[in-house]
Amino acid sequence: MVMASLEQAANLYPIPPGLAIDYGTAGFRAEASTLPSTVFRTGVLAALRSRQTGAVTGLVITASHNPEGDNGIKVADPNGGMLLRDWEAAATALANAPTSEALAEAVQQLAVREGIPAQAPSGTVLLARDTRPSGPALAHAATQGIAAVGATVEDRGVLTTPQLHWMVRATNRAEAATEQDYFRTLAAGFRELLLLAGAGRPPLAPLLVDGANGVGAAKVERLGALLADTGLAFRVRNSGQPGEGRLNAGCGADFVQKEQAPPAGVTLDELRAGRGASLDGDADRVVFYHCDEEGGFKLLDGDKIAVLAAGFVNEQLQALGDEGRRWRVGVVQTAYANGAATDYLRNGLQLEVARTATGVKYLHEVAVQFDVGIYFEANGHGTVLLSAALLEWLHQQSKLEGAPERHTAVRRLLALAGTVNQAVGDALSGLLLVEAVLASRRWSTADWDALYTDLPSRQLKVTVHDRSVITTSHAETRAVTPAGLQDAIDACVAGVSQGRAFVRPSGTENVVRVYAEAAMREQAASLANEVARIVHRLAGGLGTSP
């Protein structure tokens, strides 16, 4: 590596005064104008990771559900998953190195620590961005960073986050890895699942899709066009076209899930006729909703998707008898999972449920330990992963003669692995997964919703002077600091029927998140309010108390 050229290139991207940025829940995120140096340096890091592993890595420029003026950057590891956690600290160190000399030094240290030989292959990074106006300039900064350490960049243009992750995984497996291949793979899996649903199934109902005015809108249109002959009809709202609203403003998966309300441009009346779904700003999350019998808005969140997927997988494995039952199925959730969902998975479906900290990188790590690992955050970010051993066994089984039900189960599981992105959570996969399972089961949205009843819950955000004063333990369900915070929360929860509440600093926004659930809606809301006031009082709240 030629450090002089790195230093020279880095001089064009000086770090803004006072910058302190952290590789958080899902990469770096901040107001876009503060990001060029961070993005340049993350380009350097992704190139080094590629060089170290001898495989391509990926970079996506996006701030997902954040407002349009923010942006960010995430690294895709060679397996298509999130950046190895060991490397996150290096990403933070590189981003915060105060001068270009300090950056070169940090790069040297990383090269030594990770044993990256000077003569290693130069490295290749696949690059993509979402639709934010700040994207092209930041993509240029990333390109410069990648080039500064002699690696090659392949700019794939505007893509969803999961598309880029899928491409990284496919490239490193020497599989076809263009965007067209991505669409073809998902579509082929979906067609197979529909075929196996049998001739008697009702036609697919049209689905309203809220594209959050982001990258997912155009991609979902393309997917829909490819599958039009199956009867799948996406009616896209918040498409980001001129005249529509702004990215994530009053729409998108995060808004709908947190507010438990329909997105802009979708009325309850329309939902009476069919279900809707909302993607987030980079299309790695999806939540569904419908209008219930009382005429109210009902959310079907990531927990509901996990339950639907888990039940379907479970049923296929059961159909394979003792041999099927020897494969371990596990569902991974975070503390935000509704208590009723966890209960249904454990006691209704008799499945193993694991719990991790927030952020799909943690869920994914645990999910890969199962033969079928199903993970979804309540906000709709997740996927279904099938192990290599299970896939190989299924391929063998698919070649054998056997009872038709057995054969169907094998083919369904294989089709699932194509439909559902095996690299990361993917909203487009989520749409197809839900539609295919509902069609297979001949279920309406109401049938799906009726599997279990969510405990009422409420989420709030509190702005504090420094959110890092809150530290947590037990998968973020207990506050360790500041002193007295957890005791005060415990005291509030104590009197509430089926009450549960926790707080944690967000890793993507400058807020503290409050979660509360309880047997009754009003109790969940007042518990959340009370806890928010405690946070404001004990953790340095800004402005007036909530």
Ligand X SMILES: CC(=O)N[C@H]1[C@@H](OP(=O)(O)O)O[C@H](CO)[C@@H](O)[C@@H]1O
Nearer to ligand X, 191 or 361 (CB): 361
Burial of residue 293 (CB within 10 Å: 0-12, 13-18, 19+) is: exposed
Minimum CB–partner distance for residue 132 and ligand X (Å): 15
Question: Is residue 230 a contact point for ligand X (CB under 6 A)?
Answer: no
3-class secondary-structure state, position 239: coil
On the CB side of 271, how many CA atoms lie within 13 Å of its CA? Answer: 30
d(CA 24, CA 10): 23
By a kind-dependent CB cut-off of 5 to 8 A, residue 7 interacts, out of Mg ion, ligand X, none, with none
Question: Is residue 165 a contact point for ligand X (CB under 6 A)?
Answer: no
Minimum CB–partner distance for residue 381 and Mg ion (Å): 6
d(CA 75, CA 49): 10
The footprint of ligand X on residues 324-343 (CB under 6 A) is 336
User: Which stretch in 146-154, 182-190, 223-231, 357-365 sits in contact with ligand X by CB under 6 A?
Assistant: 357-365
Nearer to ligand X, 412 or 500 (CB): 500
Minimum CB–partner distance for residue 64 and ligand X (Å): 5
Question: Is residue 25 a contact point for ligand X (CB under 6 A)?
Answer: yes
Binding flags for ligand X, 172-201, as an x/- string (CB under 6 A) = ------------------------------
Question: Is residue 62 a contact point for ligand X (CB under 6 A)?
Answer: no
Confirm or deny that 378 is annotated as ligand binding. Answer: yes
d(CA 13, CA 110): 20
Nearer to Mg ion, 237 or 381 (CB): 381
- Residue carrying the six token digits 């929360």: 489
Question: Is residue 383 a contact point for ligand X (CB under 6 A)?
Answer: no
Nearer to Mg ion, 282 or 530 (CB): 282
Assign 3-state DSSP to the chain and report helix, strand, coil percentages, each to 5: 45, 20, 35
64 catalytic? Reply is: yes
Catalytic residue among 37, 50, 64, 440: 64
Which among 47, 39, 38 has a CA at the least distance from the CA of 2?
47
- Residue 231: count of CB within 10 angstroms of its CB: 15
Which residue among 169, 298, 513, 536 contacts ligand X (CB under 6 A)? 513
Question: Is residue 64 a contact point for ligand X (CB under 6 A)?
Answer: yes
Question: Is residue 356 a contact point for ligand X (CB under 6 A)?
Answer: no
d(CA 262, CA 254): 11
User: Which stretch in 89-97, 179-187, 356-364, 399-407 sits in contact with ligand X by CB under 6 A?
Assistant: 356-364
Give me the residues paired with residue 473 across strands: 478
Cα three-residue angle 137-219-75, rounded to 5 degrees: 50
To which H or E segment does residue 279 belong?
strand 276-279
Please list, in sequence order, all residues whose beta carbon lies within 8 angstroms of the beta carbon of residue 411, skipping any fewer than 6 positions away.
192, 196, 398
**Residues in contact with ligand X, total (CB under 6 A)?**
15
Confirm or deny that 507 is annotated as ligand binding. Answer: yes
Question: Is residue 88 a contact point for ligand X (CB under 6 A)?
Answer: no
By a kind-dependent CB cut-off of 5 to 8 A, residue 282 interacts, out of ligand X, Mg ion, none, with Mg ion
Residue-wise burial string across 270-290, b where 16 or more C-beta atoms lie within 10 A, e elsewhere: bbeebbbbbbbbbbbbbbbbb
Nearer to ligand X, 308 or 360 (CB): 360
Confirm or deny that 22 is annotated as ligand binding. Answer: no
Which among 422, 415, 457 has a CA at the least distance from the CA of 436?
415
| Binding residues vs Mg ion (CB under 5 A) | 64, 280, 282, 284
Question: Is residue 379 a contact point for ligand X (CB under 6 A)?
Answer: yes
By a kind-dependent CB cut-off of 5 to 8 A, residue 435 interacts, out of Mg ion, ligand X, none, with none
Confirm or deny that 505 is annotated as ligand binding. Answer: yes
d(CA 349, CA 42): 43
Nearer to ligand X, 26 or 186 (CB): 26
Q: Which two tokens stand for residue 30?
A: 């901040």
The dihedrals phi and psi of 459, each to the nearest 5 degrees, come to -120, 140
Nearer to Mg ion, 68 or 284 (CB): 284
Binding residue ranges for Mg(2+): 64, 280, 282, 284
Q: Which residues here bind ligand X, judged by CB under 6 A?
A: 25-26, 64, 336, 358-360, 377, 379, 381, 506-509, 513
Residues recognised as catalytic: 64
The annotated binding site for substrate is made up of 377-379, 504-508, 513
